[in-house]
Amino acid sequence: MSEGVPSARLRASDADRERVLEVLRAAAEDGRLDLSEFDGRVEQVHRARTLGELPPITADLLPPEAQPIRLGTEPVAALFRNESRSGRWVVPAEQLSFALFATAELDLRDALLVRNHVRMTASTLFGRVRVRVPEGVDVRVRGWSFLGRRATTTRPVRTDGAPVLEVQGFSLFGSVRVSAPKRRRNWLGRGRGRRELE
């Protein structure tokens, strides 16, 4: 994407809209929305052209961590309790994660990248950071460990222009691991400068 374009102004895909529609259907089925409210929100979804137009439609139906579209780029910090980020969320060019006596999990398989090269600072103190990526991502794990471990189980990528995830930071009595499923999704650029996981 172009430099300086906020994630909220990225164009929404049909898959993005369908995620929101699934939440609305569930809310109508269990009585949280009446028929007129449901129809009105469905119309809003179909009119939405950017990602930023979608989160307000379901804001009062689910807690922030369960929203179908998440545009926030705040760090993932697991402090004495486990934290996770998954589903359709925006991965900034610089992502921070930290685990203290807990586990932080970041699932990037359905995420939307704002850059083709993402730098993630993943640090642990008596904790664990677990990162899941699709096949086809060039993962580079750096940093240092003391009585801990930093590793990746992903396969080497030799494709020109493949997305890059560079993981740095420290592990003190903890671990950082990046893994990919054998075969699930590929990170492919779709549209101009937008890279997403479908």
The residue with greater pLDDT, 169 or 183, is 169
Q: What is the pLDDT of residues 9-46, one digit of tens each?
A: 888 889 899 999 999 999 999 999 999 999 999 999 99
Quick one: pLDDT at residue 182? 67
Q: What whole-number percentage of the chain has pLDDT above 70?
A: 89
Distance CA 77, CA 96 (A): 8
Quick one: pLDDT at residue 112? 84
Return the half-sphere exposure (C-beta side, CA atoms, 13 A cut-off) of residue 176: 27
Q: What is the pLDDT of residues 115-163, one digit of tens each?
A: 889 999 999 999 999 999 988 899 999 999 999 899 998 888 888 888 8
Quick one: pLDDT at residue 193? 41
Provide the residue ranges of all domains of the chain, joining segments of one domain with +. Answer: 7-66, 72-197
To the nearest whole number, what is the mean pLDDT of the chain? 86
Quick one: pLDDT at residue 87? 85
Quick one: pLDDT at residue 22? 94
Output phi, psi for 135, to 5 deg. Answer: -60, 150
CA-closest candidate to residue 112, choices 166, 69, 50, 160: 69
Indicate the pLDDT class of residue 171, thresholds 50, 70 and 90: very high
Average pLDDT estimate for 86-102 = 91
Quick one: pLDDT at residue 192? 39
Indicate the pLDDT class of residue 55, thresholds 50, 70 and 90: very high
Quick one: pLDDT at residue 2? 41
Q: Count the neighbouring beta carbons within 10 Å of the beta carbon of residue 189.
A: 13
Average pLDDT estimate for 61-78 = 87
Average pLDDT estimate for 70-98 = 89
Distance CA 140, CA 151 (A): 9
